[in-house]
Amino acid sequence: MPKITVSTLAKMKLEQKKITALTAYDASFAKLFHDNGIDIVLVGDSLGMVLQGGDDTLAVTTDEIAYHTRCVRAGSKDLFVVADMPFMSYANPQQSCENAAKLMRAGANMVKVEGGEWLHESIQALTQQGIPVCGHLGLTPQSVHVFGGFKIQGREQEQADKMVADAQALERAGAQLLVIECIPSALAKRITEEVNIPVIGIGAGKDTDGQILVMHDLVGISAGYIPKFSKNYLAESGNMPDAVKNYCSDVKSGAFPTSEHEFN
């Protein structure tokens, strides 16, 4: 599989080729995903829930993300690796650059931050220092206590319009990728069309430029429950390589997600 870069991802959006992504936290799964067609892996602060057993992602530290990023990078030198910036690790431009540098040194190709227009200065500072940035809008897990729980975002017109404006602001600041989570499919389509950077959806319908799932959801072993927007590919595939291949195939063909996985 050829090496993926930010240029590759931009070209995929232009050519309307779907992008496949999964979370990964170690070398073995990173290699498995790379060998079976995944374009992007995210070293997500979701590890706070699926690996550490927390109720949310807030306790995860930059050093923990850096550790798992090193593990993932060891699994494949060619993977495109995005590393999450944890809760309160990017409150200002200087802090953002210092913490992002740790993740880039650990092997990340890009860092991901949650939030809208208020991140403009930090994203600008990061990109000026040569650090590619992925934005994250919608249900941003680090803001779970502000939202009052893990709830669908963007159902009200004012909130939807603000999210579109935030997506455009992130792009202007220099972000080269965007994740949108748990928003109505019509809004996801609108955002995808309104920005020039690739948009990766999770619980955001089929009209985004690509899809991402938490790997534990893909294989049906998440603690608690499997989200509505996910699908247990291991159950129908019988083994891990085929589960990943079938997920990739379904995303590329448009067979996943279906209407049963989206929000209106």
250 annotated ligand-binding residue: no
Q: Which residues contact 85 (CB under 8 A, 6 or more apart)?
A: 62, 65, 96, 99, 100, 103, 111, 112, 113, 114
- Residue 67: CB atoms within 10 A of its CB come to 15
Distance separating the N- and C-terminal Cα atoms of the chain: 36
Report yes or no: 131 and 163 within 8 Å, Cβ to Cβ. no
Integer-rounded Cα Rg, in Å, for the chain is: 17
What's the CA gap between 185 and 203, in Å, rounded? 8
Please check if 114 is assigned to a binding site. yes
Contacts of 169 (CB under 8 A, 6+ apart): 116, 117, 120
* 242 annotated to bind ligand: no
For 187-243, the DSSP string reads: HHHHHHHH-SS-EEEESS-S-SSEEEE-HHHHTT--SS---TT---HHHHHSSHHHH
Phi, psi of 20 (to 5 degrees): -110, 140
Active site residue 262: no
Peptide bond into 132 cis (omega under 30): no
**Catalytically annotated residue among 121, 181, 193, 262:** 181
The reply to whether 112 sits in an annotated binding site is yes
Which helix (H) or strand (E) segment holds residue 165: the answer is helix 157-173
Residues with a known catalytic role: 181
Annotated binding site for 3-methyl-2-oxobutanoate: 45-46, 84, 112
Annotated binding site for Mg(2+): 45, 84, 114
Annotated binding site: 45-46, 84, 112, 114
